[in-house]
């Protein structure tokens, strides 16, 4: 059983890396243009979050830093895979660190979901750990139904290890209950 899970994990993690690369690498754009696309996404997501929860603006400004990621997730009955990109901003130094993300999970699910995540780092150690090590692991159970400006999304807010995470669903239709492993890593091309 352990061997089957290991093979399953390797196959899906490989798929996630390929999916993540395909979503974020556009060979026709320069490095500066790719960075700008991520910064524009960050600004849009923060604006949307501040409209929904105005008090988060003060929380982000007081924090050591924050990160914003765009992620596409596919759930196929017993498996969940996804990938995306984002940026971590250090409020103290003003430095941006561009990152990629990939995730794989097992559990029940069906559908496709495009969502955004905002991480608010309340300690220097939490920010440093995220940028340097980047691992996150969790259990995910949610429902989302949204297309363009129509539909509804059940997202969430969670706080752990001096990090608050907000999730906003951009579009898609998904129902899932999965155990996922998520890896965040620095984008060597954009840093």
pLDDT given at position 152: 35
Q: Which residue has the tokens 């979901």?
A: 113
CA distances from 102 to 47, 129, 144 (A): 25, 17, 20
Residues of the chain with pLDDT under 70: 1-27, 73-80, 105-114, 135-159, 170-181
Confidence at residue 32, expressed as pLDDT on a 0 to 100 scale: 95
Q: What is the structure's pLDDT at 64?
A: 98
pLDDT of the residue at 98: 97
The pLDDT, as a whole number, for residue 7 is 42
Q: Are strands 135-147 and 96-121 parallel, antiparallel or unpaired?
A: unpaired
In the structure encoding, which two tokens stand for residue 52, read together?
A: 């929904």
Tell which phi-psi region holds residue 126, choosing left (phi > 0), alpha (psi between -120 and 50) or beta.
Answer: alpha
Q: What angle do CA 149, 150, 156 make, to 5 degrees?
A: 85
Report if pTM > 0.85: no
Residue 92 has a pLDDT of 97
- Please say whether the beta carbons of 42 and 68 come within 8 A: yes
Q: What share of the chain is helix, strand, coil (3-state, %, to 5)?
A: 30, 50, 15
Q: For residues 8 and 15, is the Cβ–Cβ distance under 8 A?
A: no
Where are the domains positioned within the chain?
2-186
């Amino acid at each position: 059983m352990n061997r089957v899970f290991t093979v399953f994990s390797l196959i899906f993690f490989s798929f996630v890396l390929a999916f993540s690369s395909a979503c974020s690498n556009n060979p026709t754009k320069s490095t500066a243009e790719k960075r700008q696309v991520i910064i524009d996404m960050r600004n849009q997501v923060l604006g949307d979050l501040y409209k929904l929860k105005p008090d988060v603006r003060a929380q982000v400004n007081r924090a050591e830093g924050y990160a914003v990621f765009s992620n596409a997730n596919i759930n196929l009955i017993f498996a969940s895979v996804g990938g995306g990109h984002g940026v971590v901003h250090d409020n103290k130094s003003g430095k941006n660190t561009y990152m990629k993300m990939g995730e794989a999970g097992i559990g029940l699910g069906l559908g496709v979901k495009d969502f955004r995540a905002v991480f608010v780092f309340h300690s220097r150690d939490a920010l440093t750990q995220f940028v340097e090590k980047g691992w996150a692991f969790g259990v995910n159970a949610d429902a989302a139904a949204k297309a363009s400006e129509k539909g509804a999304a059940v997202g969430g807010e969670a706080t752990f290890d001096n990090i608050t995470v907000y999730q906003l669903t951009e579009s898609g239709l998904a129902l899932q209950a999965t155990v996922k492993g998520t890896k965040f890593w620095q984008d060597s091309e954009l840093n």
